[in-house]
Structure 1
Amino acid sequence: MKYRLKKLSEQVVVITGATSGIGLTTARHAAQRGAKLVLAARNEDALKQLNFELSKKGNDVIHVVADVGIEEDVRRIAQAAIDRFGGFDTWVNNAGVSIFGRTEDVSLEDQRKLFQTNFWGTVHGSLVAVEHLKKNGGAIINLGSEVSDRAVPLQGMYSASKHAVKGFTDSLRLELEEEGAPVAVSLIKPAAIDTMFVEHAKNYMEVEPKLPPPIYAPEVAANAILYAAENFKRDIFVGGAARFVAASAYHAPRVMDSLMKRFGFSQQKTNRPPRDKNQHSLYSPGTDLQERQGYEGHVFESSLYTQAVTHPKAMMTLLAAGLAFAAWWNLRERDNDIRLRSPYASRRNVSGFSL
């Protein structure tokens, strides 16, 4: 099914979880490309600062203080967009949070709260967006994860919530397609991203947690989201590592189980003692207006895999150019080799020219 999605500069874009990490990076990049923005998060002060920052640059921006786990709050986001801009074209369900620790150690209250944000927040946003977009067309972009396809230890409920987001997103897409609704539904599946993810997560472990490498920059995820706002794509893996994990989980699940048992625990633990157990964003907003936490190791600022998926024509052109150059270079080296092997190569006449 083909969808008529507007250029970003002509769109009104709703972004939840807009004051941190991927949401914040996406908001700033969308603003640079001329989109009108409706920004939602729980942190009112951060929203006001971000609104001021973008408005000062000439962008048309409004903000709504909202908890996506509460349906009434999500409806207020949509109504604010309608009141100010007459509606919206893209709705990005980005808000999310995690918990580090063995599943049996995590309280049911915390598990339910995580699902309220990650899963029900996505459900609330999607269903409210559908009510408007079925009339005018547009895109719903949900944030899944590489753990939508492969669960990891020590983040059991986060993995479960992202599996649930995938199932809901896939089902909603099919139902809309079957009735011919002009709503493109995309699922973005990032690998580990250098955001405030760890800082915002609640930690039950005896040490400070960390994300397992490889780690990608939030710009890689933001670019994938904004691509989906203009070009329908069912799924976009952010980072080749995410695609590898998903493929391995499908084709070799027991091998992945063995690898997870061997490396999945240690790669999520540091040697540092844990911070204050009350320092997290599960129930209330924490440190905001930061795109990155500052991962100590290497951060991939781009992903060739994601670029190839989102810009296939450009990548094919580059690949063709690269192959053409390689062929030219190979012929050049072969010609040089032939000349060097020639018995006349070292013989010269008195004029200095090769014979």
Structure 2
Amino acid sequence: MRLKKLSEQVIVITGATSGIGLTTARMAARRGAKLVLAARSEEALSQLEQELRAQGTECFGVPTDVGDQDAVESLAHVAKARFGRIDTWVNNAGISIFGRTEDVSMEDQRRLFQTNFWGTVYGSLEAVKHLRKSGGALINVGSEVSDVTVPLQGMYSASKHAVKGFTDALRMELEKDGAPVSVTLIKPAAIDTLFTVHAKNYMDKEPRLPAPLYAPELVAEAILSAAEKPQRDIFVGGAAKANSLGAFHMPRFFDKYAEAFMFGQQRSDRPSARNRKDALHAPDESQELKQSRNQEGTHRNSIYTRVTTGASPMKLALLGGGALMAAWMLSRQSQARPEGRRQLGARPH
């Protein structure tokens, strides 16, 4: 399957006014793509349109709640009417909730799933209607928690597991039909965006993401790489791949590691404000058009992701074999030295 160069593409991006989506939109604009930008905030979309058009980018913003199937269908129609085609569709919009699963209201849990899972389903199926005809790329943004579950973000983890299952099934069905559609799942590690600021919080402390944190530019690079070159999965950050392998080969060990460390590491020292805003049910206008929080210690590079997005099949096979061997050795080491288990393991996000 051959995909177009970015400079020849029309790209639809959901969740385009913050974090990974915003970073991807700006990066794609610099590389000459035409953009259809979707987000809930009409004001933020208007500002982003003006910014990118001033740089010479052809773009159009469409206020869209991805949890509304009719709104997603309208988004696709606008893209086709405006540019005549869709070459790549990026399902990026997402939200989280911090708190014990038993404490979170069912209304909030359903809303999270409506955005993270059903929003991805609506976008994917709408994209495939158009991509089946002319070919192109469907890119869904999952997470390392598509493979690893983390406490205090139970429904977020569940939604990303569901996104993985849906994406993998859709890919196989399209391949069986011989449809000219590349389907990629992006699995980032913890990313330095406004993720915790936008999330709804049920804890008495402000939420935080444990290290290592990676820059949103790395996710944007992975997304745009998949727009030009078909790839099944891309882990952004070596920690994401390590967590996935570790949880697969040593699930109980990772359970115990999370129980020991993930409750404390997802709680900051700052009390949660009573009137705290979030973006679960509606956008927080004060936090739009921000890519990251520029937190100290954020990784600006990932050798693992750079190699996997640019390597030949043979190099990928060797890299995968090496990773499996490392996981096997870690498993043997943890079994042989139980007293060292508390010091081993990667951080599940």
TM-score, L = length of structure 2: 0.88
Matched, 1:288 2:281: no
Residue number among 91, 94, 99 corresponding to 1:93 in the alignment: 91
Aligned positions of 1:1-355 closer than 5 A:
3-286=1-284, 287-295=287-295, 297-312=296-311
| Moved beyond 3 Å, runs of 4+ | none
Q: What is the CA-CA distance between 1:258 and the residue it aligns to? A: 1.2
* Matches of 2:64 and 2:186, distance apart in 1: 22
Structure 1 letter corresponding to 2:305:
T
Kept after mapping to 2: 8 A contact 1:100/1:201: yes
Partners of 1:186 and 1:235 within 8 A in 2: yes
In 1, distance between residues paired with 2:122 and 2:37?
Answer: 16
Listed as ranges, the gaps of 5+ residues in structure 1 are 317-355
Structure 1 window deviating more from structure 2 (254-263 vs 12-21): it is 254-263
Post-superposition offset of 1:276? 3.6
Asked if structure 2 preserves the Cα contact closer than 8 Å seen for 1:78 and 1:87, the reply is no
Name the aligned partner's letter for residue 141 of structure 1. I
Alignment partner, residue 325 of structure 1: none
Distance 2:216 2:294 in 1: 11
Asked if structure 2 preserves the Cα contact closer than 8 Å seen for 1:217 and 1:300, the reply is: yes
Q: Which amino acid aligns with 2:121?
A: V
Letter in 1 for 2:183: V
**Deviation of the 1:278 alpha carbon:** 4.4
Deviations 1:245-302 (A, max 9, x none): 000000111111111011111110111100345410000011110000232x310001
Report the CA distance between 1:212 and its aligned residue: 1.1
Show CA shifts across 1:297-336 (max 9, x none). Answer: 31000100000001115x97xxxxxxxxxxxxxxxxxxxx
Q: Counterpart amino acid of 1:151?
A: T
Max Rg structure? 1
Percent of residue pairs identical: 62
Deviates more, 1:285-294 or 1:106-115: 285-294
- TM-score calculated relative to the size of structure 1: 0.87
SS at match of 1:299: coil
User: Which residue identity does 1:81 align to in structure 2?
Assistant: A
Label 1:156 to 1:87 Cα distance change in 2 as closer, same or farther (>3 A).
Answer: same
The CA RMSD measured in Å over matched residues stands at: 1.1
Evaluate the alpha carbon distance shift between residue 237 and residue 277 of structure 1 in structure 2; reply closer, same or farther with a 3 A threshold: farther
Distance 1:164 1:17 in 2: 19
> 1:182-205, CA deviations, whole angstroms, 9 ceiling, x for partnerless residues?
111100000000001000000000
